[in-house]
Amino acid sequence: MHQAAVSAPRHDWTVEEVRALFAMPFNDLLFLAASVHRRHFDANKVQLSRLLSIKTGSCPEDCKYCPQSAHYDTGLEKEQLMEVEKVLAAARKAKEDGSTRFCMGAAWRNPTDKDFTKVLRMVEGVKALGLESCATLGMLTGEQAHALADAGLDYYNHNIDTSEEHYKEIITTRTFEDRLETLANVRQAGMKVCCGGIVGMGESEDDRAAMLTTLATMDEHPESVPVNMLIRVPGTPLEGVKDTDPLEFIRTVAVARILMPKSHVRIAAGRQAMSDEMQAMCFFAGCNSIFTGEVLLTAGNAAPNRDQSLFDRLGLQPETL
């Protein structure tokens, strides 16, 4: 059996080793990933999270994939920060629908003081409902990270999105290093890290290997690793990139699973465009977390009845807290 299937999590992966995993024959790679998955998790349980955009649109950053950037006209209605009570009503509904984690997303470069106080109240309210809480608000100072942790925030999502080399092709208003700095602040404050990236932005397999190597060589692996498939939103600079190869996406999930055996690996954006069979292969390759509900932040997601039927047909069950 491959060493990775039996050994403890490693933090010293080299990019050459990770490229070699990507280069494995597909069947061998999936078998290895599934073996690693089973050592650490019940392979038939999937964690369910629910997203809510608490502040939509007009973001000053220029991320080429994002419908919420003010740099592109995607026809999105911009909105102010939502009222705390409205957010908590959505969280209650998420809980009723079986989600165990509620993730609040804001289209900010970083939170301002006034908005931040309101977000702290949202986090406290979500925790009081007995849900795990997650937020993604852009860059954080050390102080802000501590305040969120004190309010009870369990996870902070902040993606590296792609390799360091490819990053500057995708975003010019901040650096890869800025991302790592916020992630360090989140860790330092004692929160769990949700960090992953996007497949399908014209990156090479080597870029995907480099991105996963960055995650897998962190002192602590992110507890949650979202693998997004690019949603090509009309009006964004990436609207015309070529289709993501489903097999390359599944490979990325499998390699993430092998490198970070104890983390939840999530298929995040893009499930609406995936076939049931592609999702089934992702679950086999070690994906054990998804977002449920009709929308992600602004884009469509797989419909709830479709997910229910897929779970039934695959014998999958939602993970409970």
> Residues with catalytic annotation?
59, 63, 66, 103, 134, 194, 266
Question: From the CB of 209, what's the least distance to ligand SF4, in Å?
Answer: 23
Q: Which of 61, 203, 207, 319 binds ligand SF4 (CB under 6 A)?
A: 61
- List the single partner that 298 binds among ligand SAM, ligand DTB, ligand SF4, none, CB under 5 to 8 Å by kind: ligand DTB
* Closest to 272 (Cα-Cα) out of 301, 293, 296: 301
Residues that bind ligand DTB in the complex, under the rule CB under 6 A: 51, 67, 105, 136, 157, 159, 196, 226, 228, 231, 268-269, 296-299
Structure tokens at 312: 């039934």
Give the Cα-Cα-Cα angle 74, 76, 81 (nearest 5 degrees). Answer: 140
Please give the residues from 3 up to 62 whose contact with ligand SAM meets the rule CB under 6 A: none
Q: Which of 228, 244, 263, 288 binds ligand SAM (CB under 6 A)?
A: 228
Cα torsion angle, 248, 223, 198, 102, sign:
positive
Cα torsion angle, 162, 32, 29, 265, sign:
negative
Number of residues binding to ligand SAM, judged by CB under 6 A = 17
Give the Cα-Cα-Cα angle 170, 11, 246 (nearest 5 degrees). Answer: 45
What is the rounded distance in angstroms from the CA atom of residue 169 to the CA atom of residue 150?
Answer: 36
Q: What is the amino acid identity at position 24?
A: M
Question: From the CB of 1, what's the least distance to ligand SAM, in Å?
Answer: 34
Q: Which of 55, 102, 123, 138 binds ligand SAM (CB under 6 A)?
A: 138
Between 35 and 53, name the residue whose CB sits nearer to ligand SAM.
53
For position 233 contacting ligand SF4 by CB under 6 A, the verdict is no
Stretch in the footprint of ligand SAM (CB under 6 A) among 104-112, 206-214, 248-256, 271-279: 104-112
* Closest to 258 (Cα-Cα) out of 313, 189, 212: 212
For position 159 contacting ligand SAM by CB under 6 A, the verdict is yes
Q: Which of 34, 54, 195, 198 binds ligand SAM (CB under 6 A)?
A: 198
Q: Which of 47, 68, 252, 289 binds ligand SF4 (CB under 6 A)?
A: 68
Structure tokens at 60: 């000053």
Stretch in the footprint of ligand SF4 (CB under 6 A) among 65-73, 219-227, 257-265, 273-281: 65-73
- List the single partner that 49 binds among ligand DTB, ligand SAM, ligand SF4, none, CB under 5 to 8 Å by kind: none
Question: From the CB of 43, what's the least distance to ligand SF4, in Å?
Answer: 32
Neighbouring CB atoms inside 10 A of 103's CB total 28
* Closest to 72 (Cα-Cα) out of 62, 80, 82, 81: 62
- List the single partner that 319 binds among ligand SF4, ligand DTB, ligand SAM, none, CB under 5 to 8 Å by kind: none
Alpha helices in the chain (DSSP H): 15-22, 26-40, 84-96, 113-128, 142-151, 164-170, 176-188, 205-216, 246-259, 276-284, 304-314
**Cα 292 to the chain's mean position, in Å?**
13
Stretch in the footprint of ligand SF4 (CB under 6 A) among 58-66, 82-90, 141-149, 241-249: 58-66
Residue 227 bridge partners (DSSP): 197, 267
**Site of interaction with ligand SAM (CB under 6 A):** 65-66, 105, 107-108, 136, 138, 158-159, 161, 198, 228, 230-231, 233, 269, 297
